[in-house]
Amino acid sequence: MKFLIVLLLLGLSTQVIAENVTCRSEYAIQENEPDGMHVDSLLNFNLNRETKELTNLIGHIFVQQSFIENEDISIYNSYLGFFVFDKISSNPNYKPTRYKGYTQFKKFDSVHTAGLESGMWGEFVMDLTMPDGPFDARYIFQAGDHMGGVVIFNCRTN
């Protein structure tokens, strides 16, 4: 009987609990663009803080050209990236110079793009130092041949 209880406790202690996370953004920054760029972005995924893995990720990141004003995001004035990952693991060798304390997910690349040019690739970094409540994330990206910057995310557990 004791053996079964010990096995049950070991099974429960090794069970990994993933948090359901939603990250949103409406703003990105780009070098030499003081007003930033308009963004429509939503990422949903499961986060395991212990193993530092993201699973079941689905979402989009749409970034409008910085000189466009008073227009909705469309395929005619924006870079549109769509993302789907079954699982992506953090980079254990990440040595940040800017985002200290953040966890990095390399090769965070879109699976489909539309808009002005094709391709959107980069890295996703998250500040997982806060055990509860909202936290920050950034997508440092290149899109096509002419766009790059940092999308600023606010993330919450659901």
Which among 131, 123, 119 has a CA at the least distance from the CA of 153? 123
The tokens describing 22, both together, are: 């939603």
Where are the chain's structural domains?
17-157
Residue 10: predicted pLDDT: 47
What DSSP string describes 142-157?
Answer: EETTTEEEEEEEEEEE
- Asked if residues 80 and 114 have their Cβ atoms less than 8 Å apart, the reply is yes
Q: Pseudo-torsion of CA 38, 57, 20, 18, nearest 10°?
A: -140
Residue 2: predicted pLDDT: 53
What pLDDT score does 65 carry? 82
Per-residue pLDDT band at 9 (split at 50, 70, 90): very low
pTM for this predicted structure = 0.86
Question: pLDDT higher for 1 or 97?
Answer: 97
